[in-house]
Amino acid sequence: MTRNKLKLGIFGFGCVGTGLYKVLEEAESVDATIKKICIKHPDKPRPIDKKYFTTDKNELLYDSEIGVIVELIDDADAAFAIVSEAMKNGKSVVSANKKMIAEHLPELVKLEKKYQVPLLYEASVCASIPIIRNLEEYYDNDLLTSVSGIFNGSTNFILTKMIHEKLSYPVVLQEAQAKGFAESDPTLDVEGIDPKYKLCIILFHAFGLITKPESIFNFGISRISDFDLEFARQRNFTIKLIARCNKNNNEITGLCAPTFIEKENTLAHVNYEYNGVILKSAFSEKQLMIGKGAGDKPTGSAVLSDISALTYDYRYENKKYIHLNKQLKLVDTKIYKVYVRYPDPFSGFNDFDSIEEQYSSILGNYLIGHICLRKLAHSSWINDTNINVIFFS
Amino acid sequence: MTRNKLKLGIFGFGCVGTGLYKVLEEAESVDATIKKICIKHPDKPRPIDKKYFTTDKNELLYDSEIGVIVELIDDADAAFAIVSEAMKNGKSVVSANKKMIAEHLPELVKLEKKYQVPLLYEASVCASIPIIRNLEEYYDNDLLTSVSGIFNGSTNFILTKMIHEKLSYPVVLQEAQAKGFAESDPTLDVEGIDPKYKLCIILFHAFGLITKPESIFNFGISRISDFDLEFARQRNFTIKLIARCNKNNNEITGLCAPTFIEKENTLAHVNYEYNGVILKSAFSEKQLMIGKGAGDKPTGSAVLSDISALTYDYRYENKKYIHLNKQLKLVDTKIYKVYVRYPDPFSGFNDFDSIEEQYSSILGNYLIGHICLRKLAHSSWINDTNINVIFFS
């Protein structure tokens, strides 16, 4: 079999772009060379020759020699404009932009079909873990029942520090920000929005469902207090920000929220910037994939694997979306067991189907109960920052 | 894209064959039907209609309607005869037979090339873990540096029981045999030969190296004593039967042996019949895949994924074998740190490059030292069953 020689046009030369450059340098077996890199700030010092850089996107998008556009910028709207223009021009695209992919899946699937060009985005979900490729190729039948896990490295780093070093959320967040590890606006990570984008991409490749990110419930880690941590410790749990989805016949459920994890669960040992994905299927039972979920080189290596796949004309076939049951629907009527810490008085008792435990003390109050996801999501109290919710797994 | 409809001829209807039958029944999206099953014992009661069964292999091998031969028998020599005849007849083949694959890789690669037929064997290594597919497709560049892990479910079950329930090796082995979990002749498993076959298959798909199983050092778990277990406990280790290979420039090292694993290592939490594979590459760093390594359905589901892949004309491209450096060679000159328990007098001290620790007591003696693999493998004392060796990771 022959392999294509590729000429790349890269958008963005930040953390991932620089990582990709380093990785490409060392991977001699991948026959891909960088032709041009489009950047916003031409005066920034760069590790390679100035001739590679331009600020004019059209120098890449309309260069007939460039067969592959690698999109590695932050801005999701600008990214979508670049990616769709590239595809219209018949160029293959590799992207690491989870927000852009998750928000534009219907358009992107149409573009892939209309212009018959591959769009690969392994690096957008859990960086170095090849989850999308495995969902597409290996779990390509209808036996998969659930995908869940730790999809965000920054929050897993924060939670690991909070639990292992008994530090409070604001202290750890500040440290992570000082080290440049968390964004100055950490909202997307700590409120569980970033892993929700990833969950949307997984829902598409796991089950063939396209859904809008805003249809999925997310709850973050920013309200986790010492009281909550002490509760977890007493019951021998750790806490992880878990994104999860399940398929039951044609009904799909999905959510992203902090979750108690038993110490016997392997996910309890997935710490710091590592991500972990658990797949359950009718016959292979539980499978777990663990790897670095962030960082320039792990992400760069996922981008490299996509580029390498293009040398063999690989593309996602979107098999489940095309071949499997189209009657799938996202439902929010499932009942979940949750822990809720609340200040007195608490107006939410009637929202619960049942309450298993209730505890009050001078330090705080909590209940453990069963509640319908829709009721929880639309409750009057969920936005009260004095109230925290943690799911049971 | 269109999918092929497949008609299967299956050899063997034991544990895995029955598992595959169940899995096929439920996977409606995989368009494959069983036409004929070749078995040895026609009088055994079977869960499906008698008309499917035959004892004449030619009824499958020369049936032009059968496009795929699924080989699930025990006997490696008979399996090779069946598989090569099927390939010569232009049939695609799926096999779960690690011994047959490992011993016949050079011939099989030639047959694949000459007759242009796919031969898939995901189920032969770690059952439900899609390790071969990932090595072929995702880690298809030259950046991989090592693959290691727990490749054998029976011995991991035995070791887990020994360590968690503080039982001796003969006691656990007897229990496992009584439950039909270990073979009446457990040699292939407990002496580390089965995982060595798997390591040979991994060496081919990870690095492109073909090597004979007998070139690789293996040491089993049958000599592990209570004294050894107590040593492990005192140092806060667990013991796993680890197969591992490394690439350093063109030099490949590989071995399979009981190994001390620190409790912080995720592999320490891969217990009972679960398998775990750790991949290290220059940039994605450490990745871990965990799943059931044995059992009818997990293995059946791996076979199903291969069958499903054939509906899309998938085949292993053996990219690394074809494209990467052919100068690779297996070397046994690397120095390893090992623990050796020995009875007095011990003749092997001079074989060590250095000795770090030495302990003697009425209960037993051990040393911890550094030794060249070749010296260890060819030492005068390695075959003494009163001596045990455990590697450090």
Closest approach of A64 to chain B, Cα-based (Å) = 27
- Chain B residues near residue A116 by CB distance under 8 angstroms: none
> Is B289 within 8 Å of A286 when comparing Cβ atoms?
no
For the segment B183-221, what is each residue's pLDDT rounded down to a tens digit? 778 999 999 999 999 999 999 999 999 999 999 999 999
Half-sphere exposure of A106 (CA within 13 A, CB side): 4
pLDDT tier at B293 (50, 70, 90 boundaries)? confident
The shortest CB-CB distance from A287 to any of B1, B29, B129 is to B129
Closest residue, chain B, to A281 (C-alpha): B301
Q: Which residues of B touch A309 (CB under 8 A)?
A: 137, 140
Residues of A in contact with B142 (CB under 8 A): 27-29
Which residues of A are less than 8 Å from B269 in CB distance?
266, 269
> Which carries the bigger pLDDT value, residue B210 or residue B19?
B210
Q: Which of B284, B289, B297 to mutate to test the interface with A (most CBs of A within 10 A)?
A: B284
Contact at CB, B317 and A317, closer than 8 angstroms: no
Beta bridge partners of B7: B33
pLDDT band at A297 (very low <50, low <70, confident <90, very high): confident
Please give the Cα distance from B60 to B57 (Å, whole number). Answer: 6
CB atoms within 10 A of CB A376: 24
- Ranges assigned E (strand) in chain A: 6-11, 32-38, 53-54, 68-71, 92-95, 119-120, 144-150, 217-218, 237-248, 251-262, 274-281, 285-292, 329-330, 335-342, 354-360, 365-372, 388-392
Tell me which long-range contacts A79-87 makes (C-beta under 8 A, separation of at least 24). A79/A11, A80/A104, A80/A107, A82/A11, A82/A57, A83/A108, A83/A119, A84/A108, A84/A111, A85/A61, A86/A61, A87/A111, A87/A112, A87/A115, A87/A117, A87/A119
* Phi, psi of A274, rounded to the nearest 5 degrees: -75, 145
Taking CB atoms and an 8 Å cutoff, what residues of chain B touch A140? 305, 308-309, 312
Which pLDDT tens digit goes with each residue over B57-115? 999 999 999 999 999 998 999 999 999 999 999 999 999 999 999 999 999 999 999 99
Half-sphere exposure of A148 (CA within 13 A, CB side): 25
Reported ipTM: the value is 0.91
Q: Look at A138-152, A175-189, B320-334 and tell me which has the smallest mean pLDDT.
A: A175-189
Contacts of A178 (CB under 8 A, 6+ apart): none
- Find the CB nearest A27 among B142, B314, B317: B142
Summarize pLDDT for B331-349 with one digit per residue, the tens: 999 999 999 999 999 999 9
Pairing of β A68-71 and β A6-11: parallel
pLDDT top residue among B16 and A62: A62
What is d(CA B44, CA A78) in angstroms, rounded to the nearest whole number?
Answer: 66
φ, ψ (nearest 5 deg) of residue B177: -70, -40
**How far apart are the CA of B286 and the nearest CA of chain A, in angstroms?**
6
What element of type H or E holds B237?
A: strand B237-248
Q: Are A245 and A252 in contact (CB under 8 A)?
A: yes
The amino acid at B6: L
Residues forming beta bridges with residue B5, ordered by sequence position: none
Structure tokens at B300: 């059946």
pLDDT higher than 60, residue B1:
no
Instruction: Please give the mean pLDDT across all residues of chain B.
Output: 94
Residue A287 and residue B137: Cβ atoms within 8 Å? Answer: no
What pLDDT, on the 0 to 100 scale, is given for residue A11? Answer: 97
Q: What does the pLDDT look like over A39-80, one tens digit per residue?
A: 999 999 888 899 999 999 999 999 999 999 999 998 999 999
**Which residue of chain A comes nearest to B306, CA vs CA?**
A138
Tell me: pLDDT of B284 over 90. no
How does strand A32-38 pair with strand A53-54? parallel
Those residues with Cβ within 8 angstroms of residue A312's Cβ, 6 or more apart along the chain or in another chain = A1, A3, A4, B140, B317
Contact B29 A324 (CB under 8 A): yes
Which pLDDT does position B10 carry in this prediction?
A: 98
Q: What is the Cβ-side half-sphere exposure of residue A272, based on CA atoms within 13 angstroms?
A: 5
Percent of chain B scoring above 90 in pLDDT: 80
Contact residues on chain A for B292, CB-CB shorter than 8 A: 284-287
Interface contacts A/B by beta carbons within 8 Å: 156
Q: What is the pLDDT of residues B241-267, one digit of tens each?
A: 999 999 999 999 999 999 999 998 999
**Ordered domains of chain B (ranges, CATH):** 6-133+296-317 (3.40.50.720), 138-292+327-392 (3.30.360.10)
Question: What's the rounded Cα separation, in Å, for the pair A383 and A389?
Answer: 11
Partner-chain residue, chosen from B129, B133, B298, that has the shortest CB–CB distance to A283: B298
The residue whose two tokens read 């090849």 is A130
Q: Which of B3, B26, B283 sits opposite A297 (nearest CB)?
A: B283
Mean pLDDT of A377-381: 97
- pLDDT at residue A170, rounded to an integer: 93
Distance CA B142, CA B140 (A): 7
**CB nearest B30 (choices: A138, A141, A282):** A141
Task: Assess whether pLDDT exceeds 80 at residue A231.
Answer: yes
